[in-house]
Amino acid sequence: MEIFDHLALGFSVAFTFQNLFYCFIGVLLGTLIGVLPGLGPVPTIAMLLPITFGLPPVSALIMLAGIYYGAQYGGSTTAILINLPGESSSVVTAIDGYQMARQGRAGAALATAALGSFFAGSVATFLLAVFAPPLADIALKFGPPEYFSLMVLGLVASVSLASGSVIKALAMVVLGILLGLSGQDVYTGTPRFTFDIVELADGIEFVALAMGLFGLVEIIRNLEDEHTRTVMVQKVQGLMLSRDDIKRIIAPVLRGTVLGSFLGILPGGGAMLSSFASYSIEKRVSKDPRQFGKGAIEGVAGPESANNAGAQTSFIPMLTLGIPSNPVMALMIGALIIQGIVPGPNVVNEQPNLFWGIIASMWIGNFMLVVLNLPLIGIWVRLLTVPYHILFPLIIGFCCIGVYSVNNNVYDVYAMALFGVVGYLLVKLECEPAPLLLGFIIGPMLEEYLRRAMLISRGDPSVFVTRPLSAVMLGIAVLALAVVLLPSVRKKREEAFKE
């Protein structure tokens, strides 16, 4: 079969010493930043973007991907041992995982999280290998109107699934699009939104924006509310699951894998939404829902499987359509653009080594993560005692060096600091910065396809509704936005996110 030939190519790429090394570095860093509360994959990948300049595209993407799915593994360690999730998608794991640790079952909780994550990650990677190429082939038949409608649908879906106010999320998307349009006009080369600032002639630097909005803001928030970390278990024992535990986790792991694989593809979905949805489902199907919150192993197995499956399948729209489904995928697209690769359906055919190499590396990375997480748990426990006031100066220094190295221009450091302040104000106003980043990445592409479609149709806007596929996608986007804005739906949505 053709897919096995492609996978053979992928493994031949991933099994080179260089790519194995960067895969290991990625999953190690992912576990590390997952374990340390206050450092998520978004700020870490934003900080490491400058390093990818000097790497081959395949090695760079393999390392960044490893950081993302590695953080899903590492986040469960702090959630279980100190009731402080290292990653947003591990918030749900803390509910029952920490209770299991208090009952002397920390080993069983950690083993459940690691094995569930490994199974879900492996299955989701297989789905990525199977479904991504056909989807890319379909996308090659898209014209500018279809691409414009697809991007509108993606932005609306990310707004619908974002926590908090829909109006605020929409405002963040619009702000992101406006920031993305600064620089030179895509067709005429005329400067716009530059305010006579020479450094803005090429647009706002993506790395400075991402580091400011996510890296610096995360540091400020953690300094504002630094938790006292009390490690519940100094030595973790009992990593082998009993026969009863295995019987109890099989169904939640399978349900979490299926749910996470589906939600990961949706814009705005990904790991966090998957884990919350999985916990809710496990609680509903349980014969005894009262055990949830008191150390139910199902409450660890389901969400951990779902968040890893969601993390892996979120690569499908990014690699095949060039559409980011979450902030991490937006950063991945930024990394592709930095490497001179145009994200979209052509990646599968024009860059087969990159596409299949990343997929193969995910299986290798998932295996590495099981080895890293269970036998080395003692090292991760010791890391939890490092005070944050020692970590944050190092992180800020790394941010400044990284953003300066992109263009060797001190202006980018000031821009990062400015976006850090703006991001902190947005957080205080309860405006999520994630839709802003998605708008910033998609905005220029949205404009380009809009103008291309209008040129082809000689200025007739009806081209977006007369072409069937474009009309369907725009119709779904309008319907989704209308449904979310309905008072009854909005109220239920807010209650769900609060829960």
What sign does the CA torsion over 318, 321, 323, 326 have? negative
The per-residue pLDDT for 154 is 78
The per-residue pLDDT for 272 is 67
- 300, 113 Cβ separation under 8 angstroms: yes
The per-residue pLDDT for 18 is 92
Distance of CA 470 to the CA centre of its chain: 27
Per-position b or e across 287-321, b if 16+ CB within 10 A of its CB: eeeebbeebbbbbbbbbbbbbbbbbbbbbbbbbbb
The per-residue pLDDT for 162 is 63
SS3 183: strand
The per-residue pLDDT for 84 is 66
- 272, 264 Cβ separation under 8 angstroms: no
The per-residue pLDDT for 22 is 92
Residue length of the chain = 499
Q: Report which DSSP code applies to 181.
A: T
Which residues is 183 bridged to in the sheet?
Answer: 192
The per-residue pLDDT for 24 is 92
* R_g of the chain, CA atoms, integer Å: 22
Let me know the angle formed at the C-alpha of 335 by 202 and 406, rounded to the nearest 5 degrees.
Answer: 50
pLDDT in tens, the chain (499 residues): 677 788 888 889 888 999 999 999 988 888 887 777 656 677 777 777 777 777 888 898 898 888 887 877 777 777 777 766 666 667 778 788 888 887 878 788 888 888 888 888 888 888 888 888 888 887 777 888 888 888 888 788 777 766 667 788 888 889 988 998 888 887 777 888 888 788 787 788 877 887 788 778 877 877 776 555 455 555 566 567 778 888 888 889 999 898 888 887 776 556 667 777 788 788 888 887 778 877 888 888 888 888 888 888 888 888 888 777 777 888 888 888 878 887 878 888 888 888 898 889 988 988 888 877 777 777 776 766 667 677 778 778 877 877 787 777 888 889 889 998 998 998 888 887 878 887 888 888 888 888 888 888 888 888 888 888 888 888 888 887 887 776 655 566 555 555 5
The per-residue pLDDT for 246 is 84
Phi-psi group of 237: left, alpha or beta (phi > 0 → left; psi -120 to 50 → alpha; rest → beta): beta
Q: How many CA atoms, within 13 angstroms, populate the side-chain half-sphere of residue 152?
A: 23
Secondary structure (DSSP) of 17-48:
HHHHHHHHHHHHHHHHHHHSTT--HHHHHHHH
Separation in Å, CA 339 to CA 52, 332, 351, 483, 486:
8, 11, 12, 39, 43
